[in-house]
Structure 1
Amino acid sequence: MGEVNFIQEEDVRLETTWARFSNVLKRHGELTERLSRDSDKMIFERLQKEFEAARASQTQEICLDGEQWNDGLLATIRERVHMEAERKAMSGDTNMMPGLHFHENITYKVGTKMICCLEGARIGIQYETSFAGEPCELYHCVLESKSFLEKMTVLEHTVPFFLPIREAENDLLSSNAMKFIDHVGELLQAYVDRREQVRLIKELYGNQIGELYHSLPYHMIEFVLEDFDCKITISLRYADLISVLPTRISVLAWPVYLSKKSLTSTAIMSRKGNGALGTHPIPARLSYAEDALRTMSLPEAYAEIVLNLPQSLQQIFPNRNSA
């Protein structure tokens, strides 16, 4: 009995620690949202008005495909913003001068990106994101180009603070601005895709899911299924922030059906080093579930896992229903 009491006390301590950790994570998320919400909203509203004004005043919209989006075109856009800034500086007039056509307002559409010239020798990029064919948020990035010979810099943006836009700026913007613009778009779309996958499984299967945790960019996701007389733990890790399918996956089934007699025997075996772990046997790995998560979106994989779970658990733990 002393052995069992010791094990039970350890379980209680672990549950208390997990509850405290979960509370810290919840408070951290609330604080993060509160600190960033108001300032981000103000920047977004101001930039959105600028982009809407640029689109409203456009004289032409050019849609680009494939090789049409290249460094040469980006150089043309940079040249255009500087010519327009110089024209206004020389004339002292913010209105378009009659008879000059090089400063016509052109916006460029490249896939889900809209690129335009903004006041003050700035280049604006608006990113559209989507999930399952439905539009999601808009994001903005404004590049400043002080002269045609100097490198561009990120002046301001509405990209979530936990996505590495400054690292991308340092690595790519000075050497390959086009690649930088595309990379930011990939970061944003992948983030929205991962986030929406988690939102959808919570919406569809929330009553079956417990202890769900994810990092801010959703590149680490963990949750628990407590059903079928087993506790299923799912852990997902993504190779990088532009991945939409995980690369490191762990799906484990932990039996929780043991009787008090079995539990006492398991606890004693654990203390004697006979291969048991804590108050539970060593968990079983669900390879079919890991394969599904590796090749399907999270909601699709979840449905596949649950559909085949009873049969898989019966094969792994044939005596579970007789406990």
Structure 2
Amino acid sequence: MGEMSFMHEEDTRLETTRGRFENVLKRHAELAERLSRDSDKMIFERLQKEFEAARASQTQEVTLDGEQWNDGLLATIRERVHIEADRKAMSGNINNFPESHVEERITYRVGNKVICCLEGPRIGIQYETSFAGEPCELYHCVLESKSFLEKMTVLEHTIPFFLPIRAAENDLLSSNAMRFIDYVGELLQAYVDRREQVRLIKELYGNQIGELYHSLPYHMVEFVVDDSDCKLIVTLRYGDLVSVLPTRVRVLVWSMHQSKKNMSPTILSRKENGSRGSQPNPTRLSYAENALKTLSLPEAYAEIVLNLPQTLQQMYQLRGNS
């Protein structure tokens, strides 16, 4: 009775989760429509052109490794943009100054980030995301400060609205600007990794996967695998938005053949007519949960499917012996 009560609670939680996912999907559709407006596309296109112009006018590009990217360098970049902005404001045209007085235009590359000086007292960061070695989207973040001594703020950006850039700005930018820049890069890359993993299993195994739900930042994912042998429900939860592997995983399996074998004709008829009350109790697949915690989603899915027939056979034998 205790086990049946536990399973009932599990089913109730699954239904609650599914309802939440359905609301998320509805909200996603509404927000995706809003974000597809011309004004949002224009912001990206304008910033992209400005970054391209800044890189085209650079005198050199410096690649930084390890400790070369530090608070001192960021302070130097900030000082440079303010000096150039002040000179241009005083002269009306920076080209009036002799070339020797014009600061070098240096672009810095740090991992997946390109940092450059934009017109005015602004620092631009372009984030280059990738998946499996292939480039994905570009994102931009423009930082501004009224003076060298004042804290920087996020002037504008093209980062997805559902990633907490404003919270990161409040928590990090005033106290540790370098950490803020790095953290936003981690947020974006982890989001793209999670999203592309889901996209890939849909592309590779879409004929096996039935329902699939996910939150906007892909930090909650649930999908169903339903075939003639069994039914699996996979639920993934990521500890935070910079995680690429889930921290909480649950895989439940219903072995359909064994349940049909043990059912009376009346109960079997009810099950085939879709009655939830006739569903057999599920079993948690520990090997599947371990795979999902240690491998990428497509790799874990392939391992789960590969070992599933043997696992189901062992389940049949155990139930038969009991």
Report the TM-score range of the alignment, normalised by the length of the smaller protein: 0.7 to 0.9
1:245-260, aligned counterparts within 5 Å?
245-257=245-257, 258-259=259-260
Identity of aligned residues (%): 72
Structure 2: tracts of 5 or more residues without a match? 1-10, 271-275
Structure 1 residues 186 and 263: alpha-carbon distance in aligned structure 2, compared to 1, 3 A threshold: farther
**1:120/1:212 CA distance change after superposition, 3 Å:** same
Counterpart residue identity of residue 121, structure 1: P
Q: 1:226 to 1:32 in 2, by over 3 A?
A: same
Structure 1 residues 315 and 161: alpha-carbon distance in aligned structure 2, compared to 1, 3 A threshold: same
Please say which of residues 80-89 and 101-110 is displaced more in the overlay: 101-110
Quick check: 1:211–1:223 contact (8 Å CA) kept in 2?
Answer: yes
Counterpart in 2 of 1:316?
315
Q: Deviations over 1:129-148 (max 9, x none)?
A: 00000000000000011101
Matched, 1:300 2:303: no
Contact 1:208-1:225 at 8 Å conserved across structures: yes
Amino acid at match of 1:49: K
CA RMSD of aligned residues (A): 2.6
Residue 41 of structure 1 and its aligned partner are, at CA, apart by: 1.5
Q: Aligned residue for 1:233?
A: 233
Q: CA deviation at 1:49?
A: 0.2
Query: For residue 291 of structure 2, what is the amino acid of its counterpart?
Result: A
Larger mean CA deviation between 91-100 and 194-203 belongs to 91-100
Using the TM superposition, give the Cα deviation of residue 102 of structure 1 relative to its aligned residue in structure 2, in angstroms: 4.7
5 Å matches for 1:147-158? 147-158=147-158
Question: Which residue pairs with 1:264 in the alignment?
Answer: 267
Which structure 2 residues correspond to residues 81-92 of structure 1 after superposition, within 5 A? 81-92=81-92
Name the count of aligned residue pairs.
Answer: 298
* Offset, 1:99: 3.6
Q: CA–CA distance in 2 between the matches of 1:213 and 1:151?
A: 40
Question: Which residue type is aligned with residue 306 of structure 1?
Answer: V
User: How far, CA to CA, are the matches of 2:126 and 2:133 in structure 1?
Assistant: 18
- What CA distance in whole angstroms lies between the structure 1 residues aligned with 2:109 and 2:16? 51
CA gap of 1:17–1:241, structure 2 versus 1, over 3 A, is closer
**Superposition TM-score, scaled by structure 2 size:** 0.86
Whether contact under 8 Å (2:122, 2:144) holds in the other structure is yes
Which residue matches 1:210?
A: 210
- 8 Å contact kept, 1:228–1:310: no
Q: Is the 8 A contact 1:263 1:279 kept in 2?
A: no
TM-score (norm 1): 0.86
Q: Is the 8 A contact 1:113 1:126 kept in 2?
A: yes
Shift of 1:93: 1.0
Give per-residue Cα distances to partners, 1:94-140, cap 9 Å, x unaligned.
53622434522111111111101111200000000000000000000
Matches of 2:209 and 2:118 in 1, distance apart? 47
Mapped contact 1:266–1:279 kept (Cα < 8 A): no
The CA distance in 2 between the partners of 1:44 and 1:67, in whole Å, is 31
Alignment of 1:137-148 (within 5 A): 137-148=137-148
